[in-house]
Amino acid sequence: MLLSVLDGHGADGSAVSSRAMTSIIAVLGGGGAESKRLREDPAAALTAAFEAAQTQLVAAALRKELDANHSGACSLVAYVREQTLWIANAGDCACVLATAQASTTTASDTKAVQSGSRYVARKLSMEHKVDEPNEKTRLEASGAWVRPAVYEANGELSCPARLYRCKGEDSRRLGPGLAISRALGDIDAVSCGLIFTPDVQKHTLQAIPAAADGTPSDAEHDAFLILASDGVWEFLSAQAACDLVAPIYARGGTAAEACKALIEQAQQCWKADDDEYSDDITAIVVFIPALLAALGTGIPLF
């Protein structure tokens, strides 16, 4: 299974994200067939797919089909084969894994299961902010300036750290003004140290172990994945998002139902903060036991 979430930015961000997604899918195995490289070396194949997508965006910009010079897309791609998950990410979309802890028969534990607190969140991807130490070092080595984040007196973030071509407040008009250090597109920002190369992480999914009688047990297992753009994570922590999805998972609801609830909650958070604006809200929720069953039997999830 191949899953992707892309978040476009800039005047032509929608076109850039759409073109990038199409390119990535084609390289990894258009028509539903896995490429040989993807089967043999998933990490290398995912990285090569991002590189191919960038090459196509550059070519499209030269043909003036879209403006990838000043627009880009944060890109998150997940590839699952058997029980192994690979995550490739460039930008600030994020993949979160919820692991269900082994339950007991006590009343307090029963209450915890119902509330969702039994499910522990873990981020499987790195968000590439410009002031992350390693990213900042690379950006500034190119001669660019990472303007520090600005905070209100109460400690609330007023403006995130941003990338500019050279140091000084007067240079802000020169751009690019990005808050991310990696993305597809954004060709004009490459000279400032921005790259499109993804971080690739690998995780072995923990299935629900069988009980002594052969039926599924209630032991620790990987329960579900959330892949989402930063519009979801602006006001929801990884654990808060998992706590919202967990009760739906625990009572046997659908991943689609959980995804809808997550998106609606993110929208409500944005509305409470600013009645006129919300960032892009894109999400995928996958229930891992159903996914592993589908991959094991060949039955499609959708």
What pLDDT is stored for residue 34 in this prediction? Answer: 72
Extents of the domains making up the chain: 93-126+205-302, 133-192
> Which residue's structure tokens are 């003036």?
64
Positive/negative CA dihedral, 218, 222, 228, 234? positive
What pLDDT digit, counting tens, does each position of 172-198 carry?
788 899 999 999 999 999 999 999 999
Q: How many whole angstroms separate alpha carbon 12 and alpha carbon 66?
A: 7
Mean pLDDT for the stretch of residues 270-282: 88
Residue 261 has pLDDT above 80, yes or no: yes
167: left (phi over 0), alpha (psi -120 to 50) or beta: beta
Q: What are 229-253's pLDDT values in tens digits?
A: 999 999 999 999 999 999 999 999 9
Q: Residue 234 CB: number of other CB atoms within 10 A?
A: 15
> For the residues 19-28, what does the mean pLDDT come to?
94
129-166 tens-digit pLDDT: 999 999 999 999 999 999 999 888 887 877 899 999 98
Give percent of the chain with pLDDT exceeding 70. Answer: 89
198, exposed or middle or buried, with CB in 10 Å at 0-12, 13-18, 19+? buried
Residues 98 and 245: beta-carbon distance below 8 Å: yes
Q: How confident is the model at residue 219 (pLDDT cuts 50, 70, 90)?
A: confident
